[in-house]
Structure 1
């Protein structure tokens, strides 16, 4: 963290492009295990669909500011730190697996939606769990600070299922709760569950089950009240979507072998995402 950055107010850091130009540095975030959006394959090397989007945006920042030697720093964030660290100026852009919803929209701004997902369940095939009704009075894992926790609590209350929720600190932690039988299932965005299963110790023992609860859009996140930077980020995503590059990146990460194990998620593009490649909407989840 640069000298004096702790005292920077949100309003002082709102104009991202000026901040980047003045410091000749852009700081972007990554997630450590959000397969296939943003995850580590070495101690310092994040890869993924959202990392590729991030790098395309950085290229456009370089071109806009005419700074070929722009310094790029990557920092890890979690579900709990991603919004505070963006708002306080610690970093400048988050492209990952963050749901664009109205509550978050009070603190940050979202770019054009780049993915749509919903809450499903990852369970052991041997567990007999096929849907939410099978989880009555049982323990289910999810992660702290996620929209999935709220969705699951509301569904459990609405259906009188008395689901006992335990919170993992991150996705790997929650997966381990299922693998060690401390939880019967892990409730999370379906795509993240496909990714975690693909890279787990024993993928054949796990399956993604259950109805999709609450379809939600993912979007890159930036600070509020910064129309210039939002225009640039939206412009990058629009260009990728219209040129066919976005579809190529999607196929690479969701339908082809991905590092480190060469697993294939086998998840074709959703109808919502196909529609948004034309609509170019940044509309939040309801």
Structure 2
């Protein structure tokens, strides 16, 4: 099937879902829409390694992609529709919520931080990852902890919860740091390397993504501090007020956690070489996520 035909099918499915939701209101759940449409629409981010990204064949892969694959199999079983088509649509921070609310996608498979504010617009699965907020700095600056950041400039990304967490940690310690908010993760790294900031504060996985993508010469000059300034629970995102769909998603994920498959998938994507280049994030599962795998919940921050 050609790309243009696939794209036409996806657009048609999205429009059909939106029109059905508008016509049926809250009585028509996502599972009913998927049954009538004959396809599942999954959103993902192309630059959210190792949650979701493109492999060497431009196919979406990653930890969240694998979790969503398990959910889609559960949907096929629940609906007795093994013939359901699965389409992947790219999203970004600006489009994700709109696509979920409008019916452009049924489920988002990326690195979505679960916050109380976001829960007013979308729903989250049980927690699938717990990020720690950390700091990246240049080795030559002699910064070893938050206490050394007094009077220094800390760069964070627009929309990141890291800003609030690091500011709160600085206030608790009486550290008077300056903060600047950059457009995206890549810009925070340029800010650090160009000397416009002495520290970058982001989630552990975001900082490792920057280090892995940085030129070798730059990487040799940087150091990742071991201090943690807060925690960010992640989960799969979908539409609110759809208890049947949420129950199926959560039951699928909890089953993976109980069977040990969740831990295996986690190790594959966070603590092993991954495609397309074989990079390793070297992030073994932390104690918080291990505990949440035994007692899952969907609480946000």
TM class by smaller structure: 0.7 to 0.9
The within-5 A match list for 1:1-286 is 1-2=11-12, 3=15, 9=22, 11=25, 15-42=29-56, 44-156=58-170, 159=174, 161-168=176-183, 170-202=184-216, 203-285=219-301
Change (3 A) 1:79 1:147: farther
In structure 2, relative to structure 1, the CA distance for the partners of 1:24 and 1:181 (3 Å cut) is farther
Closer, same or farther: CA 40–103 of 1 in aligned 2, 3 Å:
same
Tell me whether 179-188 or 220-229 shows the greater mean CA deviation: 179-188
Look up the SS of the partner of 1:239 in the other structure: helix
Larger displacement relative to structure 2 (126-135 or 26-35): 126-135
Residue range with higher mean Cα deviation, 258-267 or 103-112: 258-267
CA RMSD of aligned residues (A): 2.6
Task: Report the TM-score when normalising by structure 1.
Answer: 0.87
Give the secondary-structure state (helix, strand or coil) at the position aligned to 2:230.
strand
Q: 1:22 to 1:154 in 2, by over 3 A?
A: same
SS at match of 1:233: helix
Count of residues in Structure 1 that have an aligned counterpart in Structure 2: 284
8 Å contact kept, 1:141–1:186: yes
Distance 2:181 2:27 in 1: 36
Question: In proportion to residue count, which structure has more helix?
Answer: 2
TM-score, normalising length from structure 2?
Answer: 0.83
Residues 126 and 297 in structure 2, CA contact (< 8 A), matched pair in contact too: yes
User: Over alpha carbons, which structure has the higher Rg?
Assistant: 2
8 Å Cα contact 1:110-1:219 kept in structure 2? yes
Question: How many Å separate the matches in 1 of 2:289 and 2:258?
Answer: 13
Deviation at 1:253, TM superposition (A): 1.2
> Could you list the per-position Cα deviations for residues 201-257 of structure 1 after superposition, in whole angstroms to 9, with x for gaps in the alignment?
224433321521222211111111101110111111011111111111111112211
Q: How many angstroms apart in 2 are the aligned matches of 1:84 and 1:28?
A: 14
The answer (yes or no) to whether the contact 2:156–2:179 under 8 Å persists in 1 is: no
**Gaps spanning 5+ residues in structure 1: where?**
none
Spell out, residue by residue over 1:255-286, the C-alpha distance to the aligned partner (whole angstroms, 9 max, x if none): 2112233222222211111111111222223x
2:257–2:293 Cα contact (<8 Å) kept? yes
- Which 5+ residue runs of structure 2 have no aligned equivalent? 1-10
